[in-house]
A and B are shown apart, each in its own frame.
Chain A
Amino acid sequence: MIPSFNELKKAAKQSGEGMKTIRFAVVGDCATQHVSTALRGYAHTVGYHFDLFDADYNQLDAQTMDPGSELYAHSPAFTLLYNCTEKLYESYAALPMEGRGDFAERAYAAIAGRWERISSVISTRILQTNFPEEDDRVFGSYAFKVPGAFINQVRKLNVLLAEGAQSHKNVFIADAAGLRNELGREGFSDPGLYYLAKLPMKTDALPYFAKAVLDTVSAAEGRFRKCAVLDLDNTLWGGVIGDDGLEGIAIGELGTGHAFTDLQRWLKELRERGVILAVCSKNNEDTAKEPFEKHPEMVLHLSDISMFVANWEDKATNIRRIQSTLNIGMDSMVFLDDNPFERNLVRSLIPEITVPELPEDPAEYLSYLRSLNLFETASYSGEDRERTAQYQAEIGRAALMDQFADFDDYLKSLEMIAKAAPFDKFSYPRVSQLTQRSNQFNLRTVRYTEAEIEEIAESDKYLTLYFTLRDKFGDHGLISVVILEKRENKTLFIHEWLMSCRVLKRGMEEFIVNTILETAAEHGFETVTGEYLKTPKNAMVKDIYSRLGFTLTGEDGENRTYTASVSSFTPNKTLIAREIN
């Protein structure tokens, strides 16, 4: 349930103690105080505290043109640029009617100019609202035949903004137009409130807008869902496979089965995007797999499912097994089940997992799930599509490992080959994505946008390395990122080191540290220092530097500094071969 505006107003007043503080700014061409209140309140409900600068009414140009402005002094991590269609229409109507054919392009140029101006002064992620598509009804439906008609121009502008967000890596769209469509005109705005208080969104709509903004912020902060765990009977198909049999279950284009087909199609899209699918069903395994193998109208196949668990144990136990095998956080999982009993059981035993309260009617499943926006992401790269295959290969490796008594023999049998290379433009998206996704094996947990990664790669103050790993079961792709900062006294500082947990304990950590020391030697450095900054999730790498040949040289609370001398460093043992470029 979305909280009301009054509830958010109260939540905004809480102190936010113990929550992660995020510097945020709101600048608009209309009144912004209400949206700021809603954002502060919503942030508290999801565990963030916004240190928020609200520029107040119509400060868009004043705050972005002046390099000494309060906006720039605040140095926000996120900047919401809050534009409204009403103002857009005023500038549209100020043009002569025959001069409106390229209005969208001109309006876009002004907005993109603002993005670039902001980005030249501060490093911030920009959240830009798009424009609710209000038709002025000056031409009626004939407007579509008039290029300069407002409805055509505002729609074109929204497309240009989306394209702009694709080419400006630090710009994200806050979809006001989508929200207006979802809530309808009356749900979204109140003309009286606009005229009296210059509020383009009514207060009842603001919690929805705040949720959308916080979804984006959370994803950018590395908090998003990676896996959907699926029940089968009456969730993925209608009926019970064990009772109704292959011919009896409802799936396909006809009748009630169509609702399940559409849900499967959506899950397949998620899987293509990189969301992991797992099955958790109370069934005999053979029976449960039968539709996947034999039913001609199933959209999902066994190859789409990273882990298939069908037995008669309780679902919480099975979900824990899935979680530990896939090695992902419980808070990044979603459990879909039509049965309220199972949902409540899982919810009460595993509070971190998300369990949507599926509607009773399967016809409503999909639209309900879509409305929750469960799978927000801050990045997308080609490798995401490979994720399912990678997890399946991982399960194959686990099976192989059981056959070896000696762990080294097992590692040897994997025939691992790693590559190390400086960041290049093909790797920027994946590198940036890893900095956002990795929580556990992450020494300093700094999140970078693609634009920031590009800047670092091109700067002569840094040396960069990414690592790929493949073995006989498949290619893990790019799994580790190292950013080395050149410091005084021939010292190289490990500014960032993170690694995907998928490749943990195979000798990759050793391989990476050896490579860092080799790189330091090649560039004439004498000392390498590393730092561990504690977060709630990265305890697993607390001692990694001392384990891999560094000496502890500083301690500050839970944070630690380590040093290694380049000349006296003994390379760590590893069974991974280096790929020769």
Chain B
Amino acid sequence: MDRIPILHVGALLLVTIQVDMHDQLATNLQEDLTLRVSETHAKGVLIDISALDIVDSYIARVVGNIAQMSRILDAHTVLVGMRPPVAMTLVEMGVSLDGVSTALNVDKGILLLNKKIDD
């Protein structure tokens, strides 16, 4: 499998990353998502990473890129479900996910996105 499925629900795109994220997969996701945002005119992108037990600076950069590209295409990005040790490790490394909003779970993420879209 070299592509992560993207679900289209209402005005949102949902991505759940459940496999070992390797670089090619991350790059593909970045391309697919930006393409789908412009095709579907989605207003929000929700990325669920609750299954990932590590996030390195490369994947963090891809997520950051997705957020920035989506923003240009008028969509907000919310990253949900980051595990506590992953969050602590990213902070210690000095990774900051500027421009990326976060939420504890998918439910809260959808609420946050809808709020952002309404504003």
Binding between chains A and B: no
Contact surface of B with A, Cβ cutoff 8 Å: none
